[in-house]
C-alpha cells in the first residue's frame, strides 16, 4: 500500500452567517462535518458531490486557507495548522492549487510567463535559472515560448487553464488540490486538460485531490472516490468498487444522473436540490431525499463503517445487525 501523504482527522468547519434582512437572523452553516480521510502518495483521490456539499471548503482546509472549527490535517505527519513560519513556507511549496475558473485566477496585468515565473522567483535558490525553468514548464503543459508574452485575454479557456496548471507544477509540488479544474471548459477541451493532468502525474509523481461534481469526470481521473453529502463523507472506495457496486443511495442517484449519449434513452429522475436545513441533525442527513429510507433513519446518525474490504459507507441499511 502507498504511504499516506495527507491525513484528515475529524475535520469540521462551521461558518456563521449574519442575517440579510427580511426577518432573517444569523445562522450557522456546517460546511464540513467530522471528515476523516487519507490521501496516499501518487494516487488521485476524487471528491465528488453536488454543488454546495462542502467539497471546496474541504479543499481549502487541506491547503490551510481556512482554519477548522475542529479536527486537524496532517501533511507528512505534521499538523498544517500549527506549522512554524519556515515549515509553513515549505508546505506552500509542496501543496498547490488549480482553480476552477481559469480566467478569474489569472492576473490580467501579468503575461503568462510572468504568472508562471512568480512562484519560482519567490522560492528560487538561483534566480539565474528562473527564465529557462519558466520556458521549460510552459513547454511541458503545451504552451510555446512566444505565448509567454501574451496576456490572459489573448488565450482560450483551455490555454488559460494550462497556464494555471503550469503555475501549480512550477515548484514541483507533492500534492495538487484541483478544484473543479475542467467544469468551466468545453467538453472537447476538458478531455485535453484531463489527459494533460494524467500525463503530468506520471512524469512528476504527483498526487491529486480532485474535486468535482461530475461523476463521469471523477470516474476517468480517480483511483479512489469519496462521495460527499452536506459536509459528510457517505461512501469511500476504489473507483472500480464505487461504479460496480455503489452502496449508498446517494451514490446510486449520482451514478444514474450521468448523461447517456443516446437521445432515445430515457433519462432517470434527477435528485432533488440540497436542503441547507435538513429536518434533523441527529439522524441521517440524506433522509429527506432518500428513496430507501427507514423510519429509524430519522433518528440514527450513520457513521462510516466497512461492510466490504476497502469499501466504507454510512448507511443504516448496510448494518446487517440492525
Question: pLDDT by residue (tens digit) across 51-99?
Answer: 999 999 999 999 999 999 999 999 999 999 999 999 999 999 999 999 9
Task: List, for residues 194-209, the tens digit of each pLDDT value.
Answer: 999 999 999 999 999 9
Look up residue 111 and give its three cell numbers.
Answer: 503575461
Task: List, for residues 108-124, the tens digit of each pLDDT value.
Answer: 999 999 999 999 998 87
- pLDDT, average across residues 111-140: 92
pLDDT beyond 70 at 267: no
Q: Which of 100, 108, 310 is nearest to 226 (CA)?
A: 310
Q: Quote the CA–CA distance of 57 and 35 in Å, as a whole number.
A: 12
- pLDDT, average across residues 123-134: 87
pLDDT beyond 60 at 278: no
Residue-level pLDDT at 25: 65
Helix/strand/coil (H, E, C) string of the chain?
A: CCCEEEEEEEEEEEEEECCCECCECCEEEEEEEEEEEEEECCCEEEEECCCCCCHHHHHHHHCCCCCCCEEEEEECCEEHHHCCHHHHHHHHHHEEEECCCCCCCCCCCCCHHHHHHHHHHHHCCCHHHHHHHHHHHHHHCCCCCHHHHCCHHHCCHHHHHHHHHHHHHCCCCCEEEEECCCCCCCHHHHHHHHHHHHHHHHHHCCEEEEEECCHHHHHHHCCEEEEEECCEEEEEEEHHHHHHCCCCHHHHHHHHCCCCCCCCCCCCCCCCCCCCCCCCCCCCCCHHHCCCCCHHHHCCCCCCEEEECCEEECCHHHCCCC
Q: Which of 139, 320, 188 is nearest to 147 (CA)?
A: 139
The domain ranges of the chain are 4-15+29-222
Residue-level pLDDT at 274: 47
Q: Which option is the CATH number for 4-15+29-222: 3.40.1160.10, 3.20.20.60, 3.40.640.10, 3.40.50.300?
A: 3.40.50.300
Question: Please, what is the end-to-end C-alpha distance for the chain in angstroms?
Answer: 33
Is residue 169 a contact partner of residue 204, using CB atoms and an 8 Å limit? yes
Residue-level pLDDT at 283: 85
Residue-level pLDDT at 272: 47
Is residue 134 a contact partner of residue 109, using CB atoms and an 8 Å limit? no
Positive or negative: CA dihedral 252, 57, 319, 245: positive
Residue-level pLDDT at 280: 60
Least confident residue range of 19-28, 164-173, 185-194, 204-213: 19-28
Look up residue 182 and give its three cell numbers.
Answer: 475542467
Amino acid at each position: 500500500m502507498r504511504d499516506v501523504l495527507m491525513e484528515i482527522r475529524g475535520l469540521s468547519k462551521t461558518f456563521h452567517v449574519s442575517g440579510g434582512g427580511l426577518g432573517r437572523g444569523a445562522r450557522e452553516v456546517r460546511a464540513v462535518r467530522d471528515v476523516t480521510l487519507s490521501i496516499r502518495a501518487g494516487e488521485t483521490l476524487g471528491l465528488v458531490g453536488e454543488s454546495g456539499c462542502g467539497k471546496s471548503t474541504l479543499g481549502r482546509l487541506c491547503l490551510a486557507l481556512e482554519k477548522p472549527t475542529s479536527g486537524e490535517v496532517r501533511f507528512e505527519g505534521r499538523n498544517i495548522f500549527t506549522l512554524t513560519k519556515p515549515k509553513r513556507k515549505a508546505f506552500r511549496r509542496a501543496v498547490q492549487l488549480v482553480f476552477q475558473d481559469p480566467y478569474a485566477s489569472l492576473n490580467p496585468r501579468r503575461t503568462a510567463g510572468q504568472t508562471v515565473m512568480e512562484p519560482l522567483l519567490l522560492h528560487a535558490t538561483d534566480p539565474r535559472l528562473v527564465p529557462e525553468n519558466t520556458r521549460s514548464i510552459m513547454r511541458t503543459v503545451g504552451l510555446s515560448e512566444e505565448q509567454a508574452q501574451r496576456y490572459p485575454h489573448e488565450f482560450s479557456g483551455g490555454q488559460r487553464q494550462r497556464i494555471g496548471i503550469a503555475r501549480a507544477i512550477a515548484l514541483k509540488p507533492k500534492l495538487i488540490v484541483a478544484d473543479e479544474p475542467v467544469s468551466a471548459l468545453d467538453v472537447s477541451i476538458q478531455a485535453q486538460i484531463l489527459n494533460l493532468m494524467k500525463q503530468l502525474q506520471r512524469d512528476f509523481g504527483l498526487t491529486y485531490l480532485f474535486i468535482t461534481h461530475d461523476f463521469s469526470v471523477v470516474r476517468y481521473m480517480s483511483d479512489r472516490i469519496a462521495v460527499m453529502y452536506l459536509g459528510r463523507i457517505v461512501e469511500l472506495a476504489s473507483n472500480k468498487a464505487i461504479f460496480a457496486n455503489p452502496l449508498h443511495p446517494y451514490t446510486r442517484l449520482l451514478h444514474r444522473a450521468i448523461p447517456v449519449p443516446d437521445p432515445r434513452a430515457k433519462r432517470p429522475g434527477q435528485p432533488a436540490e440540497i436542503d441547507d436545513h435538513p429536518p434533523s441533525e441527529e439522524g441521517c442527513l440524506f433522509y429527506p431525499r432518500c428513496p430507501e429510507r427507514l423510519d429509524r433513519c430519522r433518528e440514527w446518525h450513520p457513521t462510516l463503517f466497512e461492510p466490504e474490504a476497502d469499501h466504507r459507507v454510512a448507511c443504516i441499511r448496510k448494518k446487517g445487525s440492525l
